[in-house]
Amino acid sequence: MKNTLPVLTYAFDALEPFIDTQTMTIHYSKHHQAYVDNVNAALEKFPELFEVELADLIKDLNQVPEAIRMAVRNNGGGHLNHTLFWELMTPGGAKAPEGALLEAINATFGGFAQFKETFATAAKTRFGSGWAWLVLTADKQLKVVSTANQDNPISDGLTPILALDVWEHAYYLKYQNRRPEYIDQWFNVVNWNVVNRLFEEGKK
């Protein structure tokens, strides 16, 4: 199947004032659309790969023909990452995790505040463009990692449950050079229900 933009379940202005309307509009309609178009253009050269789930291609990039491997890594990764990112945000959601996820966060990081600090540090110190992630490792432990460009932790055998885009296009119109402020404010729109669901699915 050809890749398409996912349906956004909230309006472009729904995450105001933390994520501004113009950034959401351009980020979704232009940046994400470009990743979709570019990964489709690459896969057109090997159309049998449209039969494979994109996530499965990104999990094992060595199975992707070398001629399009970098295009699939960058643009397929971009499509996958943004599809998750939109789902991980919501207006007026729960401000913190609960239940088994909260217990695991407390056990791993020493508390929710300490987790946020660890995650924010990973996001702040990612040099250039990339992402910060909360993942489940192969042995089902929580871990904070960051990746460059549009790389996704599934390429390293990890299961992402929370993702933050720290490319400048994600925050520059509102926050300019103040990436730490963007990271801090973004926590106001995290959809912890989705993080919790991904945690439960990943633990299986």
The residues binding Mn ion (CB under 5 A) are 165, 167, 170
Phi then psi for residue 183, to 5 deg, are -60, -45
Beta carbon of residue 35, minimum distance to Mn ion (angstroms, whole number): 8
Beta carbon of residue 30, minimum distance to Mn ion (angstroms, whole number): 10
**Between residues 30 and 95, which has the closer beta carbon with respect to Mn ion?**
30
Tell me how crowded residue 70 is: count the other CB atoms within 10 A of its CB. Answer: 12
Beta carbon of residue 58, minimum distance to Mn ion (angstroms, whole number): 16
> By Cβ distance, which residue is nearest to Mn ion?
165
Beta carbon of residue 131, minimum distance to Mn ion (angstroms, whole number): 9
Alpha-carbon dihedral sign for residues 155, 156, 161, 164: negative
Instruction: Name 162's bridge partners.
Output: 134
**Between residues 45 and 169, which has the closer beta carbon with respect to Mn ion?**
169
Instruction: Name 132's bridge partners.
Output: 146, 164
Residue 22 neighbours by CB under 8 Å, 6+ apart: 173
**Between residues 6 and 137, which has the closer beta carbon with respect to Mn ion?**
6
**Between residues 81 and 159, which has the closer beta carbon with respect to Mn ion?**
81
**Between residues 151 and 165, which has the closer beta carbon with respect to Mn ion?**
165
Beta carbon of residue 158, minimum distance to Mn ion (angstroms, whole number): 20
Pairing of strands 130-136, 142-148: antiparallel
Runs of H (alpha helix) within 132-188:
172-175, 179-186
